[in-house]
Amino acid sequence: MASTYSSDLKLEIMTTGEKAGQWGTITNTNLNILAQSTSGVLSKAMVTTSPYDTSLPISDGSTSDGKNLYIKLTGTLTANSTVTMAAAGARVFIIEDTTDRTTSEFTINVLTASSGSPVPLPAKSTCIFYSDGTNTSLGGIIKKGYININSATTTAYTAVNGDQVLVSTTSNTVAITLPASPSTGDEVTIMDVSATGGFASNNVTVARNGQPIQGAASDFTMSTNNQCLTFIYTDGTKGWLLKSTNV
């Protein structure tokens, strides 16, 4: 009987009496795969041509990109992009975003091949993900990142869970749309970093995106200089509540 491969890390499982003279080599490869899954660090340049998908393969019986524990994304995005973990067994992995998303504020979604539920990766963040072999879930945000919105070039942005949005409204007003289909505990922070003027001169409209804000079915206006608010999602009744209300 030929070798088989484990469902998660694709370790080669040899059958007694097979692979004569190869057990040492195969065992060493399996050990290298285990080392990759527990301490491997991969610097991965994002694909910048269509279909803008950076894949993380999990190959049978060999080391491969998707078996690394820690994946550091690099490069300058040219479009909204995805990072796709191969459809294998369960995997836990960490992704650090060091990409330049440019003034177009391109997005990165993380998913498992064949999954219909991509998970947004907040800009400049480090997050832990879990794949059950079909779907990807966000296990937690290890380090929050940030995204800069300068109204001279960008006047609208749709936030994702975990975003810290640094907004300069020196030139124009800005609309920040809260995430669609939020889960309880999701957070978005929006702050005024304008060098001059600020939210009192050019407001930020926080669009509710179908969910209430403090129980009201209306958008929220930030109109105080140096204002910094954290919106936390509770449920469909109260929706997004304010963690901080400084003026």
Q: What integer pLDDT is reported at residue 245 of this predicted model?
A: 63
Sign of CA dihedral 237, 240, 246, 247: negative
Residue 1 banded pLDDT, cuts 50, 70, 90: low
Q: What integer pLDDT is reported at residue 76 of this predicted model?
A: 98
Cβ atoms of 89 and 7 closer than 8 Å: yes
Q: What integer pLDDT is reported at residue 239 of this predicted model?
A: 98
Q: What is the mean pLDDT of the chain?
A: 94
pLDDT at 244 over 80: no
pTM equals 0.89
Q: Which residue has the higher pLDDT, 8 or 124?
A: 124
Share of the chain above pLDDT 70, in %: 97
DSSP state of 87: S
Instruction: Based on the fold, state whether residues 40 and 137 are members of the same structural domain.
Output: yes
Could you tell me which of 147, 151, 188, 143 has the C-alpha nearest to residue 166? 147
Instruction: Based on the fold, state whether residues 115 and 36 are members of the same structural domain.
Output: yes
Q: Which residues are within 8 A (CB) of 169 and not within 5 positions of it... i.e. 6 or more apart?
A: 151, 192, 194, 197, 198, 199, 201, 202, 203, 204
Q: Count the neighbouring beta carbons within 10 Å of the beta carbon of residue 143.
A: 11
Instruction: Based on the fold, state whether residues 172 and 236 are members of the same structural domain.
Output: yes
Instruction: Based on the fold, state whether residues 130 and 63 are members of the same structural domain.
Output: yes
Instruction: Based on the fold, state whether residues 125 and 217 are members of the same structural domain.
Output: no
Domain end, chosen from 115, 145, 175, is at 145
Q: How far is CA 200 from CA 190, 196, 220, 240, in A?
A: 15, 10, 14, 23
- Show the DSSP H helices in the chain as ranges: 23-39
Q: What integer pLDDT is reported at residue 81 of this predicted model?
A: 97
Could you tell me which of 97, 93, 23 has the C-alpha nearest to residue 64? 93
pLDDT tens figures, 39-94: 999 999 999 999 999 999 999 999 999 999 999 999 999 999 999 999 988 999 99
Domains of the chain: total: 2
Instruction: Based on the fold, state whether residues 175 and 101 are members of the same structural domain.
Output: no
Q: What integer pLDDT is reported at residue 151 of this predicted model?
A: 96
Instruction: Based on the fold, state whether residues 88 and 180 are members of the same structural domain.
Output: no
The residue behind tokens 């990165």 is: 108
List beta partners, residue 220.
206
Share of the chain above pLDDT 90, in %: 85
Q: What integer pLDDT is reported at residue 14 of this predicted model?
A: 87
Instruction: Based on the fold, state whether residues 20 and 91 are members of the same structural domain.
Output: yes
pLDDT at 130 over 90: yes
Task: Work out the average pLDDT over 153-165.
Answer: 96
| Phi/psi of residue 119, nearest 5 degrees | -115, 120
Interatomic CA distance for residues 48 and 69, integer angstroms? 23
Task: Work out the average pLDDT over 157-170.
Answer: 97
Report the CATH number at residue 163.
Answer: 2.60.120.640
Domain membership of residue 185 as a residue range: 146-247
Instruction: Based on the fold, state whether residues 128 and 204 are members of the same structural domain.
Output: no
pLDDT tens figures, 190-216: 999 999 989 999 999 999 999 999 999
Q: Which residue has the higher pLDDT, 15 or 188?
A: 188
Lowest-confidence pick of 22-26, 201-205, 227-231: 22-26
Q: What integer pLDDT is reported at residue 125 of this predicted model?
A: 98
Instruction: Based on the fold, state whether residues 224 and 112 are members of the same structural domain.
Output: no
Instruction: Based on the fold, state whether residues 79 and 128 are members of the same structural domain.
Output: yes
Instruction: Based on the fold, state whether residues 80 and 151 are members of the same structural domain.
Output: no
Domain end, chosen from 117, 145, 173, is at 145
Residue 246 banded pLDDT, cuts 50, 70, 90: low
Domain end, chosen from 119, 145, 171, is at 145
Q: Which residues are within 8 A (CB) of 79 and not within 5 positions of it... i.e. 6 or more apart?
A: 48, 50, 52, 106
